[in-house]
Structure 1
Amino acid sequence: MSMTIKKRMFISNILMIIIPAFLAVIILAGCLFIFLASMFPHAEYRLGFQEELTETRYEVVELVREWLDKADPETEAELLELVQENRLTLQIYQGQQIIQRFGDEVLPQKQLEQSLVALDGSGTVSNGTFALFGEQLLLDGKTYQIHIYNPVVILSHDRLKLWVVGIGFFMVVVLVFIIFITNRFLIKFVFKRISDPLQTLAEGVHQIRDGNLTHRIFYSGEDEFKPVCEDFNEMAERLRISVVQLQKEEESRKELLASISHDIRSPLTSIRAYVDGLLDGIADTKEKQKAYLGIIQKKTSEIDQMVKKLFLFSKMDIGEYPYSPEILDVSKEMEDFIAASEEEYQHRGLKFQNVSIPQESFICADPTYFRSILTNLLDNSAKYKEKETVSVSITGERLAHRIMVYVDDDGPGVPEDALPKLFNVFYRNDLSRNNPNQGSGLGLAIVAKAVERMGGAVHAENLPQGGLRMVLEFPTVKGE
């Protein structure tokens, strides 16, 4: 199971305290051991204070008294253990003869013994190396002399101070070294889990910077870097989509400029030709002159209509075209529109065969936008018809909180691969754009923008029996 960076940092902080403290205690204990071993070479006994030494001496004397009185093996064993435990040397004299010795043998200390004699055999004397404690016992009319030797340790104040300073300096140096080593270990323990993902992220950033937008980071850890890497991949994908979109938009702009140039140049060329014809006297009769002027007027009108549509689309594209939504009854709006424009479309070869929209189907939309949608769809059917009269039907149905409007015609339809492109700016099924009667390719683009502004969607599909269906989808609202 992977450990998060937060947990690693917590453990690192704890170890930063525990490890140096633990090792410092161990080293300090070692230094004290070396100090005691060198300063007190004979101090294996546990007598650290004079009071304890005095008590132990008298305890030995009492055990000797008991042992001499009873000769009890248990008392002898206890006496031997006490002497050995405290690294003492016990000698028991009767007269000038040693009758028993317990503990380590020591070299004869004549000077100490003579000094003790001067004290009548009882007391303590020392020569700086050994201390001799003496005591006389009288048992059953017999006199026994007890001698207890113990080593004497003398540590001067200056020497002690020197040792303390030396140990302190040594401990500081060792502690710094321990902290350094601990730091190195913890850096490897904690920051390696940080540096590796950072390096991976840096490599990913370099890949994106160099244009490789398909580069993705694969990170298997379960720590704080996982969501960062996931966000990086999401950012890279969004950036890739944005770049692709920009490329498409750039291509669309180029196509737009090429289409505008072609669609404006064609009528301008015709206008120029007919103007030259008038100036050169080719139209030598009033009838020809009138015909030439009529053609010029028609071409001028085509340019004007294209510029108006281009202006409308541009304003809608950047969201600056006025939009004043209100509650509309789709059925009523459709009836009013057909009543106002049916005669005009009949003259253009369109026949309304069926208009059926569910009653009280309300949408929130700008009436101007809604009429613009219908106008451009019907204009599209009129422009691309291949027979004298084309039948158009407008039907609808309600689906949950949406209403579907179908505008069908029995015209030629379009190739399947052209269906997704119909709503692109300046797209025309006539790729050579040689047929001037097929418009500029702006009408359906305006329809798409208007429907999008109204919160709906539009797409085209070919009918099985032939012809084209425009499918409009609008969200419904409650009527007033």
Structure 2
Amino acid sequence: MGTERIKLTGREKSELWVEGVVTVILLLLLNFAVVVMINQMISASREWQSAIWTIKTTITFGPNSAHLWSWQYLFVGVMAIADIIVVYWRLIRRYRQMQMRHVIGELHYIADGHLNHRIRLEVNPDLQRVVTSINALVDSAVASMEEERKIEASKDELITNVSHDIRTPLTSIIGYLGLIEDKQYHNEKDLLKYVHTAFLKAGQMKVLVEDLFEYTKVRSQGTKLNTTTFDMAAMLEQLSASFELDAGKQGVEFEVKAEPTPLMMTADAEKLSRVFNNLVINAFKYGKGAKHIYLDAKQTGADEVVIRISNDGEPIPNESLSLLFERFYRVEGSRSKATGGSGLGLAIAQSIVALHGGYIYAESSAALTSFVMQLPLKPGVKLQKKSK
């Protein structure tokens, strides 16, 4: 946005006029006083008179040259130039003071709550740097305030979601335990059923609390990684082995591929293992009809590895892909489906990957649904997200 010239008020124009007139009068008085003083000095000194006469007789450009080049005229000419400079300097200084006054007025206007307003005045270069800094400071303050509002709204949303997810199983637990307390069961089979249901609901609450704790921990500032050097290929093999029993029950086969082998990297193995577990569990829960889960790691370049966890089950709708990593989001659109879960798993995964300086995104088609992680091979490198 361009700048606009300062519009001086009638009072400010009068101030400039008075400043100029007063300065001229003072300079004329000063010049007159200096001329009188020098004349008196010359009259009282024969040496000065001799020097002035020498100048008059030496510099000759015509009949009237001695008169034109008399010291009075030379002095008046020099003083006139000096006077013009002084008048210009004082007027410019006063004008810059007025510019500062207008800038301060703009600042008061912004301070009164007009935070969308910016100073667009055309001012001198020094003051312009100050104005630019002020505008940048206001932009930063507004951005911080907006971020603070988002954080507050996010906290409120978090409390609402957690309250909802805790209240549902807690209500069931209290209800079934109330039935037991009031002995409202017909036989031991009913009693065991009520206890078992309460136990399952308590387990759901435990998962939610643990995920919430993990989420806040990885999102907090100052979270540090406990890095070690390990073989990513071996980690993926161990991951597939740990889910071998579940895979057998659901008729799913794991396929692991790494390039090169071994694929050595330095990272927080425990936290990455948490990410991989979440993604594999999601593949079991939501990849309906899947026959394969693919674990693939490939080094690209000298400092980057791309890890894909894919399944060939039902695809994720395109409109849900960009929302997957929002906390408490579930594709099935319900907060109480049989799939369970806290809705925080992918948000935790995204935070852990970001802690490592990488990023994660999802791709889904009729053939494969993939969660793709791009991670640096060593800590301290922050990868820039490439276009998919």
Instruction: Name which one, 1 or 2, has greater alpha-carbon Rg.
Output: 1
**Counterpart mapping for 1:68-79 below 5 A:** none
Deviation at 1:451, TM superposition (A): 1.0
Cα distance, 1:319 vs structure 2: 4.6
Structure 1 range deviating more: 336-345 or 265-274: 336-345
1: CA distance between counterparts of 2:312 and 2:109? 56
Q: Sort the Cα spacing of 1:343 and 1:303 in 2 relative to 1 into closer, same or farther, 3 A.
A: same
Which of 124, 136, 139 in structure 2 is aligned with 1:237?
139
2:365 to 450, 453, 464: 464
Helix, strand or coil at the partner of 1:296: helix
Q: Hey, what does 1:203 align to over in structure 2?
A: 106
Name which of 30, 35, 41 aligns with 1:24.
30
Shift of 1:265: 0.8
Q: CA deviation at 1:272?
A: 2.0
Contact preservation (8 Å) 1:354, 1:394: yes
Q: How far apart, CA to CA, are the structure 2 residues paired with 1:329 and 1:230?
A: 51
**Contact 2:314/2:366 (8 A) holds in 1:** no
In structure 2, how many angstroms separate the alpha carbons of the residues matched to 1:331 and 1:211? 57
One-letter code aligned to 1:271: I
- Give 2:228's match in structure 1, choosing from 326, 335, 341: 326
Aligned runs of 1:297-446 on 2, under 5 Å? 297-319=199-221, 323-347=225-249, 349=250, 351-359=252-260, 360-387=262-289, 389=290, 391-400=292-301, 401-446=303-348
Matches of 1:320 and 1:436 in 2, distance apart? 36
Q: Which amino acid is the alignment partner of residue 472 of structure 1?
A: M
- Normalised by the length of structure 2, the TM-score is 0.70
Q: How does 1:157-172 map to 2 (within 5 A)?
A: none
Partner SS, residue 257 of structure 1? helix
| Equivalence for 2:153 | 251
Match of 2:74 in 1: none
In 2, Cα distance between equivalents of 1:318 and 1:274: 37
CA offsets, 1:306-365, max 9 Å, x none? 111111222222257663111222212211222233323444x37244322212433321
* Structure 1 counterpart of 2:127, from 207, 211, 225: 225
Q: How far 1:299 sits from its partner (Å)?
A: 0.9
Q: Which residue of 1 aligns with 2:95?
A: 192
SS at match of 1:421: coil
User: Does the aligned pair in 2 maintain the 1:213–1:239 contact within 8 Å?
Assistant: no
Tell me the CA shift for residue 302 of structure 1.
1.0
Distance change >3 Å, CA 243–CA 319, structure 1 → 2: closer
Aligned equivalent of 1:285: 187
Which AA in structure 2 matches 1:469?
S
SS of 2:252 mapped into structure 1: strand
Structure holding more strand per residue: 1
Asked whether the 8 Å contact 2:305–2:374 carries over to 1, the reply is yes
Offset at 1:371?
0.5
CA deviation after TM superposition for structure 1 residue 303, in Å: 0.8
Is 1:19–1:182's contact at 8 Å kept on the other side of the alignment?
no
Deviation at 1:275, TM superposition (A): 1.9
SS at match of 1:284: coil
Q: 1:408 to 1:277 in 2, by over 3 A?
A: same
Q: CA contact under 8 A between 1:216 and 1:233: conserved in structure 2?
A: yes
| Cα separation, 1, equivalents of 2:230 and 2:121 | 54
Residues 399/206 of structure 1: CA separation in 2 closer, same or farther (3 Å cut): farther
Q: Is the 8 A contact 1:456 1:473 kept in 2?
A: yes
Comparing 256-265 with 309-318, greater Cα deviation is found at: 309-318
Q: Which of the pair has the greater relative contact order for Cα pairs under 8 Å at 6+ separation?
A: 2
Task: Quote the Cα distance in structure 2 between the aligned partners of 1:472 and 1:205.
Answer: 49
CA shift in 2, pair 1:263/1:197, >3 Å: same
Give yes or no for contact 1:362–1:477 (8 Å, CA) kept in 2.
Answer: no
Letter paired with 2:340 = Q
Distance 1:442 1:418 in 2: 15
**d(CA) in 1 for partners of 2:133, 2:205:** 50
28 and 267 in structure 1: CA distance in 2 versus 1, 3 angstrom threshold: closer
Instruction: State the Cα deviation string for residues 204-240 of structure 1 (Å, max 9, x = none).
Output: 4642x34444333335556123333333333333333
Whether the 8 Å contact between 2:306 and 2:375 is mirrored in structure 1 is yes
Counterpart of 2:35, as a letter, is A
Identity fraction in percent: 24
Listed one character per residue, the Cα deviations across residues 8-49 of structure 1 (whole Å, up to 9, x for unaligned) are xxxxxxxxx99978863445436898x9xxxxxxxxxx9x99
Alpha-carbon distance between aligned partners in 1 of 2:285 and 2:108, rounded to the nearest angstrom: 52
Counterpart CA distance in 1 for 2:141 and 2:253 is 48
Q: Please give the alpha-carbon distance, in whole angstroms, between the structure 2 residues aligned to 1:414 and 1:216.
A: 45
Summarize the Cα distance change of 1:350–1:253 in structure 2 as closer, same or farther, 3 Å threshold: farther
2:176 aligned to which of 267, 274, 277: 274
Distance in 2, matches of 1:353 and 1:184, equals 88
AA at the equivalent of 1:391: H
Cα shift at 1:423: 1.9
Question: What's the RMSD between the two structures over aligned residues?
Answer: 3.6
After superposition, where does 1:45-64 map in structure 2 within 5 Å? none
Q: In structure 2, how many angstroms separate the alpha carbons of the residues matched to 1:234 and 1:334?
A: 48
Unaligned regions of 5+ residues in structure 1, if any? 1-16, 36-45, 50-177
Q: Residues 368 and 25 (structure 1 numbering): CA distance in 2 closer, same or farther, change over 3 Å?
A: same
DSSP 3-state at the match of 1:364? strand
| TM-score when normalising by structure 1 | 0.57
Residues 360-383 of structure 1: CA deviation (Å, up to 9, x unaligned): 433321111011010111122223
